[in-house]
DNA sequence: TTGTTTTTTTGACAAATGTCAAGCGTAAAA
DNA sequence: TTTTACGCTTGACATTTGTCAAAAAAACAA
C-alpha cells in the first residue's frame, strides 16, 4: 500500500468494531501484524498435518474446512463465510499439527495474524482480550448448536436446519460437502431434496 | 468459615493454578465472589427457561446437562466431572433464558460466581482474562471433538469412543443418559453393549 | 425383608439410511 | 465443438437403527 490503509485490513477492523471501539494503539499494532492474501478456488490455506499458528479472517469468498475419515473420505467440519474468523482450533490452541485441511472453494481474500502477535496485542491491551473472548464464546455457542443438530435430528430435519442456518450456502457449495457436514451420505441428501 | 479458607474454594484455586499462578489480589477477589453449595442427587442447579448468569465449578460429584427434544424426550448435552467448569453457555453469553437443565446425578459440591463479578475480576486483572481464555479454548476443542464423533461414527464406534473418552463415567451414569448423548436410542445402545 | 418403581434387555417388526452400480446432466478442458 | 471429468440422481437391495411391547433385572422405598 503506497499510502493509506489496506482496505481489507480496514474492513477487518470495522468488523471487529461492531461491538467495541478499539483504541488507536491497538489498531496500529493490528495493522502492522496482519497479512492479507488473495486466494483462488482450489487453493489450500492449511494442509492437514502442518502447523497452524495463525488466526484468519475471511474478507470475502468461501472456505471449507475438512478432515479425513479412517477410510479416506473427506468430512466437512465447517464452512467459513464472509466476515468470519477461522483457524484449526485444536492446532492453534495446543500447538499441534493441524487435524484439518482448510481449502478455498470460492476465490477469497483473507487476513491472517500469527499467534504470537495476537497474544502480544492481548497482553499489551487487555481490551483485545475482551474482544477475543467475545468471538470465541460466540463460536462455542455455534458449536453447541451443531452438536444439538447432529444429536437429535433426522436426516431431513438436519437438511432443513442447514437451509435455515446457512441460507447463503445452499446454492454455493456442492452437495457432497453439505452431506458430510450433516453426517449423512450424498445419496440420502439427494433423495431428501426432492 | 470461622477462620481460614473454605477448602472447596481452596481446591478451585489450585485447579486454576495448574497452568498459571494467580496474584494474591485476584485470589482475594475470587474468594469474596465465590459461593459454595452442597447438592444432592436429583437436585436442579439451573432449570430450563430460567436465567443462568453464573459460572460453576464442580468440586466433586457428577452432573448432567440436558435439554428437551420437540417430542419431550430428554437429550443429554453434556456430563460434568470433578474439577470441570460448567454453565449454560448460550444463556451465560447472550443473557437469555437457559435452553438446558443442569441436574445433579451424584451428590455434589459446586462453586459458583456471578457473571458480573467474574467480569469485574477480568477487567481489573487481565491475567484472569488469560485464564478464562484458556479454559474456553479447551472447551472449544472438546466440542469440536464431539462434533467429529457425531458426524462420522457408527453407533458402535460412538460407544467405544465414549468409553475411551469418559472412562470414569461408564459405570456411573444410566444408559439412557449415554444413549441420548451419543444420538442413539436406549435399545440400540443396549444391543451394542453385548 | 417385601413390594414398587425404574431401568435395561429382548424380540419382532418397521423405517430410515447406507451401499453399490448405472445413467444423466452439466461444466470444464482439449 | 467435442471430449472428458465430475457431480448429482436414481434404482435395487443390504444394513443399521428405530419403534413398540413385554419381560427381566436392578434400584429404591416402605
CB environment A6-44: b (16+ within 10 A), e (fewer) = eebbebbbeebeeeeebeeebbebbeebbebeebeeeee
CA distances from B38 to B9, B35, B58, B104 (A): 13, 10, 10, 10
pTM score, whole prediction = 0.95
| CB count in 10 Å sphere of residue B55 | 20
Range in A5-14, A41-50, B77-86 the model is least confident about: A5-14
Across A129-147, average pLDDT = 96
| Residue that is written with C-alpha cell 492449511 in the block | A46
Q: Please state, rounded to an integer, the average pLDDT across all residues of chain A.
A: 95
Q: Measure, in angstroms, how far nucleotide C20 C1' is from residue A184 CA.
A: 16
Residue B125 CA distance to nucleotide D13 C1' (Å): 65
Q: Is B170 (CB) below 7 Å from strand D?
A: no
pLDDT score of A180 more than 60: yes
Selected for mutation to probe chain B from A126, A138, A154 (highest B CB count within 10 Å) is A126
Looking at residue A3, its pLDDT comes to: 56
- What integer pLDDT is reported at residue A6 of this predicted model? 87
Report how far apart the first and last C-alpha atoms of chain B are (Å, whole number).
50
Residue A18's pLDDT is: 87
- For residue B3, name the pLDDT band (cuts at 50, 70, 90): low
Which residues lie below 8 Å from residue A186, measured CB to CB, with a gap of 6+? Answer: A175, A176, A179
Q: Rounded CA gap, A50 and A101, in Å?
A: 9
Q: In a mutagenesis test of the A interface, which of B129, B142, B176, B189 is the best target, namely the one with the most A β-carbons within 10 Å?
A: B129
Q: For residues B78-99, give the mean pLDDT.
A: 97
pLDDT, position B18: 87
All three cell numbers of B20, joined, read 498459571
Of the candidates B123, B151, B183, which has its C-beta nearest A75's C-beta? B151
Which of A136, A146, A152 lies at the smallest CB-CB distance from B147?
A146
Contact B130 A129 (CB under 8 A): yes
> What confidence tens digit (pLDDT) does each residue in A59-115 have?
999 999 999 998 899 999 999 999 999 999 999 999 999 999 999 999 999 999 999
Tell whether the model's pLDDT for residue B25 goes beyond 90. yes
Query: Stretch B70-94: mean pLDDT, rounded?
Result: 96
Residue B159 in this model has a pLDDT that exceeds 60: yes
Which pLDDT band holds residue A1 (cuts at 50, 70, 90)? Answer: very low
Quote the minimal CA–CA distance from A149 to chain B in Å.
Answer: 10
Q: What is the pLDDT of residue B184?
A: 98
Q: Please tell me whether any atom of strand D lies within 7 Å of the Cβ of A174.
A: yes
* pLDDT on residue B107: 95
Residues 6 or more apart whose CB falls under 8 angstroms from that of B75 comprise A148, A151, A152, B66, B67, B68, B69, B180, B181
Residue pair B180/B75 in contact by the 8 Å Cβ criterion: yes
- Nearest chain B residue to A120 by CA distance is B130
* Cα–Cα distance measured from residue B193 to residue A31, given in angstroms and rounded to the nearest whole number: 56
The residue of chain B nearest to residue A141, with distances taken between CA atoms, is: B90
Place B1 in a pLDDT band, splitting at 50, 70 and 90: very low
B178/C7 CA-to-C1' distance in Å: 13
Q: State whether B152 and A126 contact (CB < 8 Å).
A: no
In this predicted structure, the answer to whether residue A7 has a pLDDT above a threshold of 50 is: yes
Does at least one atom of strand D sit less than 7 Å from the CB of B33? Answer: no
CA A161, CA A156: separation in Å to the nearest integer? 9
Interface of A with B in 60-119 (CB under 8 A): 67, 69, 75, 77, 89-90, 93-94
pLDDT the model gives residue B19: 82
The per-residue pLDDT for range A151-179, each reduced to its tens digit, is 999 999 999 999 999 999 999 999 999 99
Measure CB to CB from residue A151 to each of B93, B148, B183 and give the nearest one.
Answer: B183
Q: What is the pLDDT of residue A4?
A: 78
Identify whether the C-beta of residue A57 lies closer than 8 Å to the C-beta of residue A15. Answer: yes
Amino acid at each position: 500500500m503506497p499510502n493509506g490503509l489496506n482496505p481489507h485490513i480496514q474492513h477487518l477492523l470495522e468488523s471487529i468494531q461492531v461491538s467495541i471501539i478499539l483504541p488507536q494503539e491497538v489498531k496500529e499494532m493490528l495493522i502492522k501484524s496482519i497479512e492479507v492474501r488473495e486466494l483462488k478456488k482450489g487453493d489450500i490455506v492449511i494442509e492437514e498435518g502442518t502447523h497452524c499458528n495463525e488466526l484468519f479472517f475471511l474478507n470475502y469468498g468461501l472456505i471449507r474446512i475438512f478432515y479425513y475419515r479412517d477410510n479416506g473420505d473427506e468430512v466437512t467440519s465447517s464452512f467459513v463465510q464472509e466476515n468470519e474468523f477461522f483457524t484449526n482450533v485444536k492446532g492453534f490452541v495446543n500447538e499441534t499439527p493441524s487435524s484439518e485441511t482448510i481449502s478455498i472453494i470460492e476465490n477469497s481474500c483473507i487476513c491472517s495474524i500469527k499467534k504470537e502477535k495476537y497474544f502480544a496485542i492481548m497482553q499489551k491491551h487487555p481490551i483485545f482480550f475482551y474482544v477475543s473472548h467475545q468471538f470465541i464464546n460466540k463460536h462455542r455457542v455455534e458449536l453447541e448448536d451443531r452438536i444439538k443438530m447432529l444429536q437429535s435430528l433426522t436426516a431431513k430435519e438436519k437438511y432443513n436446519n442447514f437451509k435455515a442456518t446457512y441460507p447463503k450456502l445452499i446454492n454455493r457449495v456442492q452437495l457432497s460437502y453439505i452431506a458430510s457436514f450433516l453426517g449423512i451420505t450424498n445419496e440420502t441428501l439427494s433423495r431428501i431434496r426432492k
